[in-house]
Amino acid sequence: MKNIVLIGFMGSGKTVISKVLSKKLKRDIVDIDVLIEKKTKMKIKNIFKKFGEEYFRDLEEKITAKVSKKKNIIISTGGGIIKRENNIKNLKKNGIIIYLKNTFKTSCERLKGKKNRPLFNEKNLKATKKLFLQRLKLYKNAADIIIKTDNKSIKQVSEEIIEKIKYL
Ligand code: S3P
C-alpha cells in the first residue's frame, strides 16, 4: 500500500493527525522532524540557530529520500518540505500526498505561545504571513488530495482522509 504523506503549513495538524491515522489504519508512523532531532541529538530550533536553515534543509532532504523508500506507512513532514522539489518527487514515488489546508488565522490560533518553531515568529506575524502566502501554491501543486481543516476536529479531519483514500 502507498504511504500517506501529510504536508501543510506549521500548525496545520500534521503531527496530531498522523498519530490518529497511524492508530486507526494500524500503520507505522514516521515523523521527519522527529528523525532529524534523533539523528542530530538536537532540537530543530537549535539546529537553525547553530547551523542555519540551509543545513537543516540538507538534513531534511537526505532523511526524506530515505523515508520515501518505505511503504505502507504514515509520513508526517515539516512545513518547509515543499521548499525542495526533490522532496516531493521522492515522497510521491511510494506515497499519496495529502495537504492539510487552513487559514493563516487558524495556524496562529493553534501555535499561540509555542516557541519551538524558528520560522513562526509571533513577534513578526507579517513575515510569517508572507511565508504562508508564498507557500500556498507549493502545497497545492504538490498535493494529490486537499483537506480543509479550519473549524474541524481532529476526528473529523482524520475520518475525511480515511474516506478519501478508500477510493484510491
Ligand atoms: C518548518 C516547519 C517545522 C520544522 C521547521 C521548519 C517550516 O515543522 O520542520 O521548524 O519551514 O515550515 P512543523 O510544520 O511541524 O511545525
What domains sit in the chain, N to C, each tagged with a CATH number?
3-163 (3.40.50.300)
pLDDT computed for residue 100 by the predictor: 98
pLDDT computed for residue 120 by the predictor: 94
Q: Is the pLDDT of residue 155 over 80?
A: yes
pLDDT computed for residue 166 by the predictor: 86
24 lines ligand 1 (CB under 6 A): no
Average pLDDT over residues 115-130: 93
CA–centroid distance, residue 118 to ligand 1 (Å): 8
CA–centroid distance, residue 167 to ligand 1 (Å): 30
Q: Is the pLDDT of residue 143 over 80?
A: yes
8 lines ligand 1 (CB under 6 A): no
Q: Which residues pair with 74 in a beta bridge?
A: 4, 29
pLDDT in tens, 67-76: 999 999 999 9
Q: What are the phi and psi torsion angles at 6 (to 5°)?
A: -100, 125
pLDDT, the chain, mean: 97
Q: What confidence category does residue 168 fall into, taking pLDDT thresholds of 50, 70 and 90?
A: confident
pLDDT computed for residue 118 by the predictor: 93
Q: Which amino acid is at 8?
A: G
78 lines ligand 1 (CB under 6 A): yes
Residue with cell 507505522: 28
pLDDT in tens, 48-96: 999 999 999 999 999 999 999 999 999 999 999 999 999 999 999 999 9
**Verdict on whether the full-model pTM lies above 0.95:** yes
pLDDT in tens, 106-116: 999 999 999 89
pLDDT computed for residue 123 by the predictor: 87
Residue 58 CB contacts under 8 Å (≥ 6 apart), including other chains: none
pLDDT computed for residue 167 by the predictor: 78
Contact 149, 158 (CB under 8 A): no
Burial-class residue 161 by CB neighbours within 10 Å (0-12, 13-18, 19+). Answer: buried
**Residues above pLDDT 70, as percent of the chain:** 100
